[in-house]
A and B are shown apart, each in its own frame.
Chain A
Amino acid sequence: MNEKTRTLAYREGGPIVRFDKVGVTYGSGTQALRNVSFELESGGFYFLTGPSGAGKSTLLKLMYLALRPSHGRANLFGVDVGSAGRDDLPMLRRKIGVVFQDFRLLPHLSVFDNVAMPFRVRDVPLANYAEDVDDLLRWVGLGGRINALPETLSGGEQQRVAIARAVVGKPSLLIADEPTGNVDPEMGARIIRLFIELHKLGATVVIATHDLDLVRRSGAPVLRLEAGELTQAPGLSLAPKANQ
């Protein structure tokens, strides 16, 4: 299926993510997820919570296509991930922005090139994205560090580079794994404000966090995982709140 066909198959305004009895069993036999079913509406803002080892990372990996389900059906943008061809997955990944807990920046590349990575893997000429990247880096407060290497940045600055990389391609789905875990509370609040801004621009946002205060304050729908099972999800269809 080519990108155009996929886009047509994806119903605008419908669920951007739909999991139906999804399970993941690793090679060692460990069952990381069991019978997980939920839907995320396009344009929603969601939190994913649960204790360590509950399966949050596995669920996120399924959503950002680092894993395929062992059981059940995982559907992203109208495409069944389990049966999608290998050549189809990169096109889906280009619609997803990911902020990893450990940032996962490439240490040999400058801040600019790390952020520009989504364009470079698409063979977009430099002239077509240089201004966007510069603007975005200024917006996250790193306009003066575009040529710096990641190792010379503080944790908070690296976090902002990772966020800039995740959002530069204007993804339809933005996934963040503990984005406030490695930064001070003030920086954490700024990062959440940034996600809210991106959400207002139309992105569906999923944030995995241990910070229950943050979840309570936001009032956003919550997916809660415990021992690989979804224990909290407001119905199968988790519509975003109107005020978000």
Chain B
Amino acid sequence: MISALQSFWRQITRDSDRALLPADSRQARPLTIVVSIMCALGCLAGLSASAGLRVANTWTSDLKSAMSVVVQSPRTDADLTRAAQIVRRVQGVTRSEAMSRERAKDLLRNYGTDMGSTLDALPVPRLIEVGVTAGQTNVKADIEKALKAAGYSFVVDDHSRFTGEVLRTSTVVRIVAISALVALVIAAISTIGFAARAALETRREAVNILHLVGAKDSFVAREVQIRFLRLGFVAGLLGATAAGVIALIGSAVFAFGASDFTSGAPLLNWTDLWILLVAPLVTACASAVAADRAARETLRDLV
């Protein structure tokens, strides 16, 4: 085992002029570019999945920690204040504030239409803004029970419709991103396998000679494997760097246009760095495995 590792290390670190199978820069350069692009797309897919999950979690967390109570009757300011006090006493409620008529009108104005004096004639909804402890269950039912007991006619909106939509959308985004990632990995492995087979075909004479002087299949496969391991690592490094730059630009654009709706959730996080760090290693390993398999398949044609 140790001698195999030593041999592998000697091969990986040796002077490339002494490589038994000659390198072909005409093939290596375009292949590096193609694998880099695939790796960059894979990284972006991974970052998208991670960012999508994080943003969705932030949004749903915000939505889940807030409720709105629409008081239908009685609707006076005093009734609303009293209802807010009743709600505040419910277990799991952290905040309960009656919304003034003016603020409720402002919410309607936010829809963008200049309603002028018409707004004064409209029955502005009487709202109570409620903050709840995250993860606390039955708060909605307890609020309903308390307000009903106090004789109020009301509707409690716990935003479950929105959180459901956000979670569904986030799941779809993640499925698409992970599918894209898997497709890119398969495409990269197929491309490298094809390239490895082509590389062996163009060096068939050298492979034959190595065989005839006693090289095992594993030795010849390792020669090919090490070349593609290096290529995969370099391509992975380039792809991850490119993806990192694109993601940074995207994150900056996202942050620049951030609003209350996005809760200021960052698109990129330091924890996402692992995707970019692991990408060159994964690409290198995938390249090596694909090249090894392709080489062994090709070598089966020889005696």
User: Which residues from 46 to 102 on chain A have a C-beta closer than 8 Å to any C-beta of chain B?
Assistant: 64-68, 86-87, 89-91, 93-94, 98
Contact between chains at A90 and B209 (CB < 8 Å): no
Contact of A118 among B3, B213, B216 (CB under 8 A): B213
Complex-state Cα separation, A118 to B7, whole angstroms: 15
Contact yes or no, B215 A121, CB < 8 A: yes
B 1-38 binary contact with A (CB < 8 Å = 1; else 0): 00100010010000000101010000000000000000
Contact with B along A4-18 (1 / 0, CB 8 A): 000000000000000
Q: B18 and A113: CB pair below 8 A?
A: yes
Instruction: List, in ascending order, chain A residues with CB within 8 A of B7's CB.
Output: 123
The interface bits of chain B over 167-207 (1 if a CB of A lies within 8 angstroms of the residue's CB, else 0) are: 00000000000000000000000000000000000000110
CB closest residue in chain B, given A122 = B214
B162, CB-defined interface residue at 8 Å: no
| B211 touching A93, Cβ below 8 Å | yes
Asked if B217 and A86 sit within 8 Å, CB to CB, the answer is yes
Q: Chain B residues near A104 (CB, 8 Å)? A: 205, 208-209
Cβ–Cβ < 8 Å partners of A121 in chain B = 20, 210, 213-216, 219
Structural contact, B20 and A117, CB atoms closer than 8 A:
yes
Tell me which residues across on chain B come within 8 A of A190, comparing CB atoms: none
B212: interface (CB < 8 Å): yes
Instruction: Contacts A98-B212, A104-B209 given; indicate if A120 touches B20 (C-beta within 8 A).
Output: yes
* Interface residues of chain B: helix, strand, loop or mixed (majority): helix
Q: Does A165 count as interface, using CB distance less than 8 angstroms?
A: yes
Known: A90-B214, A91-B214, A121-B214. A68 touches B209 (CB 8 A): no
Find out whether the CB atom of B217 lies under 8 angstroms from the CB atom of A93: no
Place the interface of chain B in its size category: 20 to 34
Q: A86-B217, A109-B18 are in contact. Are A117 and B303 (CB under 8 A)?
A: no
- Which of B22, B212, B219 has the most chain A CB within a 10 Å cutoff? B212
> Which A residues are CB-close (under 8 A) to B211?
66, 90, 93
A93-B20 in contact (CB<8A): no
B212 touches which of A68, A93, A122, A169 (Cβ 8 Å): A93
Q: What's the nearest-Cβ distance from chain A to residue B164, in Å?
A: 59
Distance between Cα atoms of A89 and B210 in the complex (Å): 13
Rounded to whole Å, the gap between the CB of A46 and the closest CB of chain B is: 20
How many interface residues does A have (CB within 8 Å)? 28
Chain B hits for A123, CB < 8 A: 3, 7, 10, 219
| Given known A89-B303, A121-B219, contact A106–B206 (CB-CB < 8 A) | yes
**When chains A and B are docked, how far (Å) is the Cα of A122 from the Cα of B214?**
8
Return chain A residues, CB-CB under 8 Å to B208.
66, 104
Q: Cα distance A30–B237 when bound, in Å?
A: 53
Tell me which residues across on chain B come within 8 A of A89, comparing CB atoms.
Answer: 303
Closest residue of chain A to B215 (Cβ to Cβ) is A121
Min Cβ gap A29→B in Å is: 19
Q: Is A217 an interface residue (CB 8 A)?
A: no
A118-B214 contact given A67-B303, A123-B7, A123-B219, CB 8 Å threshold: yes
Q: Does A108 contact B (CB under 8 A)?
A: yes
Query: Which residue of A65, A90, A98, A120 contacts B216 across the interface (Cβ within 8 Å)?
Result: A90
Closest chain B residue to A93, Cβ basis:
B214
**Nearest B residue to A61 by beta-carbon distance?**
B303
Cβ B303 vs Cβ A106 within 8 A: no
* A window 111-137: CB within 8 A of B: 113, 117-118, 120-123, 125
Question: B10: which A residues are within 8 A, CB to CB?
Answer: 123, 125
Alpha-carbon distance A120/B10, docked complex (angstroms): 11
A104→B211 CA distance, assembly (Å): 12
A98 to chain B, nearest CB (A): 6
Are A68 and B20 within 8 A (Cβ)? no
Query: Given A106-B206, A113-B18, do A165 and B213 touch, yes or no (CB 8 Å)?
Result: yes
Q: Evaluate contact between A106 and B214: CB separation under 8 angstroms.
A: no
B20 — nearest CB in chain A belongs to which residue? A120
Q: Complex Cα distance A87/B215, Å?
A: 10
Give B216-241 as 1s and 0s: 1 = Cβ < 8 Å from A's Cβ atoms.
Answer: 11010000000000000000000000
Given that A65-B303, A89-B303, A108-B22 are known contacts, is A117 also in contact with B219, CB under 8 Å in the complex?
no
A146 to B131 alpha-carbon distance, docked (Å): 83
Give Cα distance in the complex from A117 to B208, angstroms.
13
Contact A117 B206 (CB under 8 A): no
Which B244-271 residues have C-beta < 8 A from chain A?
none
The 9 A-B pairs at the shortest CB distance, nearest first, are namely A94-B214, A121-B215, A108-B22, A93-B214, A123-B7, A90-B216, A118-B213, A90-B214, A117-B213
B residues contacting A by CB (< 8 A) are: 3, 7, 10, 18, 20, 22, 205-206, 208-217, 219, 303
- Starting from the known contacts A106-B20, A123-B7, A169-B213, 9 additional A-B residue pairs (CB-CB under 8 Å) come to A64-B212, A68-B303, A87-B217, A93-B211, A93-B212, A109-B20, A113-B18, A121-B216, A122-B214
22 A-B pairs within 8 Å (CB atoms) are namely: A65-B212, A66-B212, A66-B303, A87-B216, A87-B217, A89-B303, A93-B211, A93-B214, A94-B213, A98-B212, A106-B22, A106-B206, A106-B209, A107-B22, A108-B22, A117-B209, A118-B214, A121-B20, A121-B215, A122-B214, A123-B3, A123-B7
